[in-house]
Amino acid sequence: MANPFEKGGIGFNIQQQLAPLQNLGATIHNQVQQNLMPVFALSIRNQMANGVGGTTVATYYGNIPRVFFIQNGLRRICNGRVEGPRCLGSLEPFEITTREDLCFAKTHAQVNNRICLSAGQINVQATNGQVTCESVDGMPTLLLTMMQYRNMCGNRLPWEVIYRYYPNPSDPRAIAIPNSNPHVRCLNNEPGVCEFEGDSTMGGGGGGAGGMFVSSNNGGFHFNSFSGR
């Protein structure tokens, strides 16, 4: 009796027809991973902006330029000279103690020509053109006209920020630089350092927990929100 799996047999022919399907699952998985690389890159950039697995030096540009040291989500101020990922002085947690400090808050809500800045969660309401902004968790909150905001903070919302990420080789959460994801691009060519442009909504940190609740009784208002976590 002929072996059906020999060349020319029924079993052999079936195997030949099914051969292209044997690696179909792996092929689909690899294609999905490839298509999701830009999404993964966005997540990686946010981790770097947040100083995950290393130290990020973030320079904010505006009326009040400021440099933050960010490590695993905690923003700190360097009282001394900045040299790469090191602060040649003392590091203090960033706390909002003045009106101007709210320029760096992570929660922003814009309703028409008014903007609410806060270090925490906010409740924004617009009734017949009147805008109110209240803190939900007792954190500092400030409601300004856009002209007042620009005079105090600058012309851009969100702010432009230059980030320099220095991975810590001993931290298992460190982001590899250069990165295997081709969409994680750095402006510099230094090994082990990634400089990239972003804005003040990226990452998170000690400036604010983020979150807001918005309601309107007259509709038709323009609302933009940026909530960093």
- pLDDT tens, 179-211? 999 999 999 988 899 999 987 666 543 333 344
pLDDT digits (tens, 9 = 90+) for 26-77: 666 566 566 778 889 999 999 999 999 999 999 988 777 889 999 998 999 9
* DSSP, res 180: S
* Residue 204 belongs to a domain: yes
Residue with the bigger pLDDT between 101 and 19: it is: 101
**Is 170 part of any domain?**
yes
Q: What is the CA radius of gyration of the chain?
A: 25
Would you say residue 166 lies in a domain?
Answer: yes
Q: Is residue 120 part of a domain?
A: yes
Tokens 């702010």 sit on residue: 159
In a domain, 27, yes or no: no
Q: In terms of DSSP bridges, do strands 54-61 and 160-167 run parallel, antiparallel, or are they unpaired? A: antiparallel
The average pLDDT across 9-34 equals: 62
pLDDT score at 215: 44
CA neighbor of 104 nearest in space, from 142, 47, 147? 142
**What local confidence, expressed as pLDDT, does residue 78 receive?**
93
- Exposure letters 8-18 (e unless 16+ CB within 10 A, then b): eeeeeeeeeee
Report the percentage of the chain scoring pLDDT > 90: 34
- The predicted model gives 143-166 an average pLDDT of 85
Q: Please tell me the predicted confidence (pLDDT) of residue 67.
A: 92
Residue 20 lies in a domain: no
Domain count, the chain: 1
Check whether 9 has a pLDDT greater than 60.
Answer: no
pLDDT for 91: 93
Who contacts 20 (Cβ-Cβ below 8 Å, separation ≥6)?
A: none
Please indicate, yes or no, if residue 92 is contained in any of the structural domains.
Answer: yes
Range of the domain at 54: 41-227
Q: Report residue 143: phi and psi, to 5°.
A: -110, 125
pLDDT, position 220: 36
Q: Order of strands, edge to edge, in the sheet holding 122-127?
A: 130-135, 122-127, 212-216
9 domain residue, yes or no: no
Contacts of 215 by beta carbon, 8 Å cutoff, 6+ apart: 124, 125, 126
Instruction: Express each pLDDT in 79-120 by its tens digit.
Output: 999 999 999 999 999 988 888 888 888 788 888 888 898 888
